[in-house]
Amino acid sequence: MPGIPLPTEVMSLRVPVAGRSKPVGLHVYYVYILSNPRNTVLYTGVTNNLARRLYEHRRHVGHHFTQRYNTSKLVYYEQFTQILDAINREK
């Protein structure tokens, strides 16, 4: 949704630039929870780029669930260095 500001901590996240590789061991993954404006629906996801993923959700790119239920408000997130930890936490 245009006009919805991202939290400062999300905006300060570094977005990887295409063609540049990260040093080994510096991977970051996020488990996040989105809600709709009335806080009646929750959506949980995992990503390695929270700012990009929120942008996609707010533009309704990708998953049909977020389009149908308008889940674009970030209500919670956690950061992980291991993808399996993030996936297990999401479950």
**Helices and strands (DSSP H and E) totals, the chain:** 4, 3
User: Tokens 């780029």 sit at which residue?
Assistant: 49
pLDDT confidence of 81, banded at 50, 70, 90? very high
User: What's the one-letter identity of residue 16?
Assistant: P
CA 3, CA 59: separation in Å to the nearest integer? 11
- pLDDT tens per residue across span 7-64: 555 555 454 444 555 555 578 999 999 999 999 999 999 999 999 999 998 888 877 8
Q: What is the pLDDT of residue 67?
A: 84
Q: What is the mean pLDDT of residues 60-69?
A: 83
Identify the residue with better confidence: 3 or 70.
70
